[in-house]
Structure 1
Amino acid sequence: MTERIPENEQTNYEVFRECVAEPVLKALAEPEEKPKRSRDKKKETRARRHGKNHLYENEKAKQNGQREDEPLGNGNDAEDLGDFIDYLSTDLFTSIPPALRRLTPTAFNETPSLQNAYTLPLPAKTATHLLATLSPTALQTLESYALLPSHCDSLSLSSFFLPIFTSYITSTTTVPQIPIWSTTRTSACELCQREWIPLTYHHLIPRSTHVKVLKRGWHEERKLGSVAWLCRACHSFVHRVATNEELARWWWSVELLEEREDVRKWVDWVGRVRWKAR
């Protein structure tokens, strides 16, 4: 996309981009190879993944009159993916209502119409309107590369986009808190080391396990407030690879998480995804 985001929307755009990146990264991250998989199936999966990792380049090629199936440059896959997420996020962000693009805690708390429209869970009327405003180009791109089913219905759109909108609205309407551990905040994700993207705090010992942790003596009480500052993608990945109880008992520090092979592979891959400067 060549269209630039206005300066007064840049901060919200960066939040929105991370919200879009999470499901895209989840869908495109290389899964562990399953045993007893046929050679043809492996080739098919590799070919499909290779195509997805060059989504943005294919979009640019089509815009320039190049055939989609022509060979593309052998650029860094993660960099290509970062370009694609930029392209997709910009296309989607500029298609949503201006009031949503400029949403802030102050505007939300002082404007009844915004509260009526964007209080979570989203009212059905708002959800329907947001889905109807989505860029047709972005939807076609998502369908073309199997991130959305072909000829997807409203249920498929809702399943993919409503979590994105919910995460975005939560981030842009919540007044930042100043917790006791705010002094531990880092400038980069503690796993992938990416900077310039929004960070979230991950409770290393999930709060839902605190009673069990103390009862069974897994950790001292002073450890319960420990957090790590992670980007959305890494935060979501950590919660996919282990249950809350497993995180509390075995993976309760950044160092322990880094010892996991799946986490190391993820960090090596996602750490190479770089956003374009604007």
Structure 2
Amino acid sequence: MTSDENYSIFRECLSSAIVARSEKPKTKRRTKVKRGGRKESTVTSSEVVHTERANPEELAEFIDFIASETFTSFPEDLRTLSYAGIQHDPNLSNTYIPVEKDAPLDRSVLDSICTITPVDVTETLSVYGLIPETTDFPDFISPVLSEYISSVTSGPPEWSATRADACEICERDWIPLSYHHLIPRGVHAKVIKKGWHDEWMLNSVAWLCRACHSFVHRMASNEELAREWFTVERIMERADVQDWAKWVSRVRWKAR
């Protein structure tokens, strides 16, 4: 992968995190009138009616700024990290690949990256309420880096022949895609034991941008995804997914 390709992937990983933190649920409050004419406002979880979302064009510019400033501050070996690279350089693997699967990036490596991140990045994230304080930046960027590193160092998937030209939810065709297991791997054993699906269906995938990929995992548990939402067609029947797809398809940034 080239540095530009890696940047595109990093920007998508970062975009997913920023989009998730930018959504603010709005609720409908019900007013009760008690004896004596005093009013009391109450709200229950069932009364959450919709999510307030930022202007897509402005959000895209914001994401592009944060991604560019952050990525260009990375060490060169992190900006150009690849599957081939870690196969030929054990030091790269020792530095960036956790010993245990799905473990976070080594704290000393994370701290060294955060130390050289421009102050403008951490202060901007804090000012816009995406992190409580600038000192919380490591906790914010850690899962983003883990997703980025996992993506650029993954070998070619066996499902590459199924790759789509555009995200199968939002239909954006100009950003990197990742493959989503329609039947999550974590519940494969249970799926077979319960007889929910035939074994040959276990490796069915959908090609999604990272924002849509994260949205799908937020909308339902792995078990619910396996039982109810195991095809793109079923997922797209949901009103919340249709609303999300319409909104996120408008989040665009300028070419780098």
TM more than 0.5: yes
Q: How does 1:29-48 map to 2 (within 5 A)?
A: 29-31=23-25, 33-36=26-29
- Per the alignment, residue 170 of structure 2 pairs with 192
Alpha-carbon distance in structure 2 between the residues aligned to 1:276 and 1:235: 22
Pick closer, same or farther for the CA change 1:37–1:100 going to 2, 3 Å. Answer: farther
- The one-letter amino acid of 2:250's match is R
Partner of 1:60: none
1:182–1:111 CA distance, 2 compared to 1 (3 A): closer
Q: Does 1:159 align with 2:152?
A: no
In 1, the alpha carbon distance for the partners of 2:106 and 2:24 equals: 36
Change (3 A) 1:225 1:118: closer
Q: Which amino acid aligns with 2:170?
A: C
- Return the offset for 1:21: 0.5
Distance in 2 between the 1:242 and 1:209 partners? 13
Mapped partners of 2:189, 2:81: distance in 1: 37
Give 2:194's aligned residue: 216
Q: Distance in 1 between matches of 2:213 and 2:175?
A: 13
Gaps spanning 5+ residues in structure 2: where?
32-40, 42-51, 99-103
Q: Is the 8 A contact 2:122 2:137 kept in 1?
A: no
| Other-structure match for 1:239 | 217
Contact 2:166 2:172 in 1 (8 A): yes
Question: 2: distance between equivalents of 1:209 and 1:175?
Answer: 23
Q: CA RMSD in A?
A: 2.2
| Aligned counterpart, 1:141 | 124
Q: Counterparts of 1:129 and 1:105 in 2: how far apart (Å)?
A: 22
Alignment of structure 1 residues 81-96 onto 2, 5 Å: 81-96=59-74
- TM-score relative to the length of structure 1: 0.77
Superposed counterparts of 1:38-187, under 5 Å: 53=54, 77-120=55-98, 121-150=104-133, 152-153=134-135, 156-177=136-157, 179=158, 181-187=159-165
Residues of 1 paired with 2:173 and 2:187: CA distance?
30
Q: Between 15-24 and 100-109, report the one with greater CA deviation.
A: 100-109
Q: Deviations over 1:131-178 (max 9, x none)?
A: 10111111111011001113x32xx2221011111111112222223x
The structure-2 alpha-carbon separation of the partners of 1:85 and 1:210, relative to structure 1 and needing over 3 Å to count, comes to: same
- Identical-pair percentage: 46
| Structure 1 residue runs without a partner (length 5+) | 1-6, 41-48, 54-76
Residue 20 (structure 1) aligned with residue 14 (structure 2) = yes
Range that drifts further, 218-227 or 130-139: 218-227
The aligned counterpart of 1:229 is: 207
Deviation, 1:8, is 4.5
| Aligned-partner Cα distance in 2 for 1:123–1:163 | 12
Indicate the SS of the match to 2:174.
coil
What is the rounded CA distance, in whole Å, between the counterparts of 2:97 and 2:222 in structure 1? 28
- Match for residue 3 of structure 2 among 3, 9, 16: 9
Task: For residues 86-126 of structure 1, give each alpha carbon's deviation from its aligned partner in whole angstroms, at most 9, with x where no partner exists.
Answer: 11100111111122111122222222332332222433321
TM-score, normalised via structure 2 length: 0.83
Q: Is 1:274 equivalent to 2:252 in the alignment? A: yes
Contact 2:169/2:212, CA 8 A, preserved across alignment: yes
